Structure 1
Amino acid sequence: MATSNSAEAAAVQSAAVKEGTTTWTVNGTPVALSTIDKNGYKLYSLSQVAGELGAHVKVSSSGFELNDSKGLHTIQIQTGAKSYLVDGTKQEFTVAPVFYNGKTYVELTKLVTGLGGELQADSATVLSFALPEGDFDTLHWSADGSLIANKSDAETTQLLKFSNTPGNYELFSSNDGAVDIAVSADQKWGAFSDETGQLKLINLFNGVITPLGKDTSVKTDLVWSQDGKKIYFIQGDKQEKIAQISLETGTVKTLLEDKVENKSELRVSADEKNVVYIVNVTGVAKNDADSTEDSLTVDFSKAGEQLYKLDLITKDAKPAALTTELDNKLYPEILNNGSIVYLSADPEGNAANSLKSIGADGKSSNIALDGEANWAAGVSGGLVVSAVTADGSTVIYAISADGAKSELFRTAEDVTEVSASHDGSKLALVSGGTLWLVQNGKALQLSK
């Protein structure tokens, strides 16, 4: 590249300059960057750094103009001049850029940050785009491998979509309803019910939202069928029905109307032959024959959460109770072998959580873990489970339908949320509000 200051170039050429390389991890890949040491400062090849960051470089008689790959930032630099412009604002280098042996060298930190990137000196990491700041929660995966997360501390709704490269993200949606969506099995679509009860579909590639049908009854616990042609849900002001809607016609069909209220945590088997759900059984009011206020009592002896299973194939089938214990039941899942797994928690908090399995024969058993389970989710190959060990570490396991268990990730940090991609190959974690991507046992930080 040409230089705009030949006198400076000649002076640098004749001075004692030490050439070398320094390895930085750029967007997740180790790269040996060309450097020179001048007057005790290490400067980096402008063209090489710009290329690794995906920035565009223009050379003219007045110097260099660099633009980041998203077209958000512009830097104007002159060789030999400490002053430079970032988006039209004057800045100062500690050491002026120099031309040496056919290359221009600049300060790494100021070049990276001027282009909107981030430099993490403690881990020798350079990112093309700075990590977003804030607290994140409510994680969902899309078919292109991207992660959608809610920036929970934003003044208005901000759903950000993250790629597998740290710092590479974009605003996906600002729709309040899209924060907590049900994702289709192919991870191409999300579904949610707005404040009127109207079902909406959101394209997980581009964020476009479209209505589904015209029904405005209350709908909760949305679940997609495996083939993506139907969405199942719990219906009614008191969560007393189970229904489905056709994506082709928008027609709603009631599957169960037994007047039992407080249904939740609906799950549908892959073959759509059965659904499983939880009923929150409340206390039973009792009174004397005169129904006086003083005689009114409430019996809570049978209050609690119970799992039910409904056969969708047999005509006029009635829900069958799967449990009778009064423990809290969380994260139920139907595995491909027909067994049902859920997390059991003592409502009084006197006993550790356990992971339980109900087989096709109705028999219940515990799934052994090296810690106390606190989250579980079904994936195409079985189950992904998070547990906290005695020393406070979080361990995430993959459990196949036949019970085989393997450790996916372990961290000493406190983890408040976990999400697994549909095939279980990727994990997303929230720790202290910070978002992490886990793949092949390695964690990449996506926010700060």
Structure 2
Amino acid sequence: MVMRKALAASVLAAVVGTSSIVGAASAAPAAKTAASVQAKQATFLVNGSSASFRVVTKNGETLVSIRDVAKAIGANIAVHNGALTVTLNGHTVEAKLSANQITADGAAVSLKQPIQLVEGSTYMAVRPLVNGLGGTVALNGTQVVISTVKLVEGAENPRFVSASKLLVSTVQESGRTDYLVDAASGKSDVLLTSTDKSDLVVSPDGKQAIFSDSEGLLYLINLSTKAVSKLSEDNNIKPELVWSPDSSTVYFLQGDKGSVIAKINVASGEITKILEDKVDYKSSLNVSADGTKFVYAVTTLGSVTADSTNVDEDNVAIDYSTNQIQIFSFDSSVTDGKPVQLTKGTDDKVFIASADGKTATYVSVANENSNAVLVSVGASGTALNLYSERDVLESVQYGGKLYVLAADSDSENGIYEVTSTGAAKQLYAVSAEVTSIVVSEFGIAVVRDGQVLVRSGNAWTAITK
């Protein structure tokens, strides 16, 4: 047992200390072909699945069987005039025995040591081989991760569908494309292309997503079959869609000014109005688990201060200082109940959330010179600062918990879990290029410089580029 541990430790030490990466090897050694070279088996993570490669260690560097790597990544391999040619996704690597370099797509790439022949198989460093084929090699703890998947580029708005799948979108001049992306490998599949559809909102059971079109019509898309079905003929604009926890009902704001709170039964398509108080510009709709209580924002617009009898004139003056966002709660179970205003301050209020439909949390931005602060407020109207140590960039609520992305320094952001009493615990330190976080029962993802990464083990795995 001691000898096995020592063997694994020696292989890992060789890996970490060289430019080619191989995970800690485990398995019995094969027969020697030379006194200083011994083949072993090592387990890699290749495009989200485990794969076993033959490896040899020489002069402190770990080399892998070219044929084993090619088989695992689905590359074609051929031998011609004593040279191995490996091709994958339009990339070509040529390798010659005993050579100190390879040719990757016609360009010479130097190797630390020559390509080796051991027990009839050809070995070389894994990183230049995989990189030459358009892939990447990374180390997650002691696990070597190889990816040769063609990743979606420029993706945004990641949403977990399940533990193994996310929904992401790309936007071009021609419209938007939605993809289902494997959380381990980054393999993607086009789900929907559209020109006038709202963002897809995934149901809690992960089976379908709902969206509206420019006419206000609602549609469902089955995330397995990709089949799209119209849910309702109601053509009132629906700017926000919120699922119930059991995936049976969708709540939404209705009208081009978001004046009404309503719901639709997913099975029958029946729409029921919940609140119609003639107050326009509602937004940030949050619904309690039982569907009776609501928290939302109302925006008041600037007021005309000049002569308003001829508002078509260019010189009409508008006082934008009266622009305000205030937060309200409404309990539909109370007979003849009225919305309750929770806030009165003139600060900007963003990332508004509520778990119970009574108490709201939001990020308060007083002015551009002060830090943004995470705040909670209830029916009393008393605001409580939950997190103010660092500038809050984003707040996400999930499962009754709050998660904050905050600027720790010029080069680093932090992801914190914040309790309802204001106790904060840092979960991760991330690059300052991280601009958004996504939290789900299935895991956590971030958007870094336009790239989506999912937390996997002790590292962040890029699933888009």
TM-score range, shorter chain: 0.7 to 0.9
- Residue 233 of structure 1 aligns with which residue? 252
Q: Retained in 2: the 8 A contact 1:136–1:435? A: yes
CA distances 1:158-198 after superposition (whole Å, capped 9, x unpaired): 33333232343333333356672223233333211112211
Q: 1:117 to 1:178 in 2, by over 3 A?
A: farther
Following superposition, the deviation at residue 243 of structure 1 comes to 1.2
Q: 1: distance between equivalents of 2:433 and 2:309?
A: 52
The residue that corresponds to 2:190 in the other structure is: 171
State the match for 1:104 in structure 2: 121
CA contact (8 A) 2:163 2:183 kept: no
Structure 2 partner of 1:334: 354
2:451 is aligned with 1:434: yes
The alpha carbon displacement at 1:385 in A equals: 1.6
Which whole-Å CA distance do the structure 2 matches of 1:334 and 1:286 have between them? 36
Shift of 1:399: 2.6
Letter in 2 for 1:352: N
Structure 1 counterpart of 2:159: 140
What SS is found at the alignment partner of 2:95? coil
Report the counterpart of residue 9 of structure 1 in structure 2: none
TM superposition shift of 1:280: 0.8
Partner of 2:280: 261
CA drift of 1:80 comes to: 7.1
How far apart in 2 are the matches of 1:374 and 1:143?
Answer: 26
* Counterpart code for 1:307: I
Q: CA deviation at 1:113?
A: 6.9
Change (3 A) 1:441 1:406: farther
AA in 2 matched with 1:81: G
How much has 1:110 moved relative to structure 2?
Answer: 8.1
Question: Residues 30-429 of structure 1 correspond to what in structure 2 (within 5 A)?
Answer: 33-35=53-55, 44-46=64-66, 48-49=68-69, 53=72, 68=74, 75-78=76-79, 81-82=82-83, 84=85, 86=87, 93-96=94-97, 100-101=118-119, 104-105=121-122, 107=124, 108=126, 112=130, 118-120=135-137, 125-132=144-151, 134-152=153-171, 157-176=176-195, 180-285=199-304, 298=318, 300=320, 302-336=322-356, 338-346=358-366, 348-401=367-420, 403-421=422-440, 423=441, 426-429=443-446
Equivalent pair of 1:142/1:205 in contact (CA under 8 Å): no
Paired residues of 1:383 and 1:399 also in contact (CA < 8 A)? yes
- SS of residue in 2 equivalent to 1:49: helix
**Given the two structures, how large is their TM-score scaled by the length of structure 1?**
0.77
- Structure 1 stretch displaced more, 389-398 or 308-317: 389-398
Q: Provide the rounded CA distance (Å) in 2 between the counterparts of 1:121 and 1:340.
A: 41
TM-superposed deviation, 1:14: 8.9
Q: Name the CA shift for 1:125/1:177 in 2 (closer, same or farther; >3 Å).
A: farther
After superposition, the Cα gap between the structure-2 partners of 1:205 and 1:369, relative to the gap in structure 1 and judged at 3 Å, is farther
Query: What secondary structure does 2:333 align onto?
Result: coil
Instruction: Please give the alpha-carbon distance, in whole angstroms, between the structure 2 residues aligned to 1:85 and 1:32.
Output: 19
RMSD (Å) for aligned C-alpha atoms:
4.0
Residues 87, 352 of structure 1: CA spacing in aligned structure 2 closer, same or farther, 3 A cutoff? Answer: closer
Q: What amino acid is the match of 1:437? A: V
Distance 1:291 1:135, change over 3 A: closer
Question: How far apart in 2 are the matches of 1:389 and 1:104?
Answer: 50
Q: 2 CA distance for matches of 1:166 and 1:35?
A: 23
Identity of aligned residues (%): 25
- Once residues 196 and 230 of structure 2 are traced to their aligned partners in structure 1, the CA distance between those partners, rounded to angstroms, is 12
For residues 85 and 303 of structure 1, the distance between their equivalents in structure 2, rounded to whole angstroms, comes to 63
- How far 1:236 sits from its partner (Å)? 0.7
Q: Distance in 2 between matches of 1:333 and 1:156?
A: 30
SS in structure 1 at match of 2:69 = helix
Residue 34 of structure 1 aligns to a residue whose secondary structure is strand
Residue 88 of structure 1 deviates from its aligned partner by 11
TM-score, normalised to structure 2's length?
0.75
Q: Supply the AA of the counterpart residue of 1:26.
A: L
Unpaired segments ≥5 residues, structure 1: 1-12, 56-67, 69-73
Asked whether the equivalents of residues 287 and 357 of structure 2 are also in contact (C-alpha less than 8 Å), the reply is no
* C-alpha spacing 1:207/1:416, structure 2 compared with 1 (3 Å): farther
Per-residue CA distance 1:22-65 (angstroms, 9 max, x = gap): 96853478988434589xx98633564356x2x6xxxxxxxxxx
Shift of the 87–397 alpha-carbon distance from structure 1 to 2, 3 Å rule, reads: closer
Post-superposition CA distance 1:413-433 (Å, at most 9, x none): 321222111x2x522111111
Letter in 2 for 1:436: L
Q: Which runs of 5+ in 2 are unaligned?
A: 1-31, 98-114
How far the C-alpha of 1:149 sits from its partner, in A, is 1.6
Q: Is the 8 A contact 1:243 1:253 kept in 2?
A: yes
Q: How far does residue 257 in structure 1 lie from its aligned partner after superposition? A: 1.8
* Distance change (3 Å), C-alpha of 1:241 and 1:21: same
Change (3 A) 1:14 1:252: closer
Distance change (3 Å), C-alpha of 1:408 and 1:190: farther
* SS at 2:162 equivalent: coil
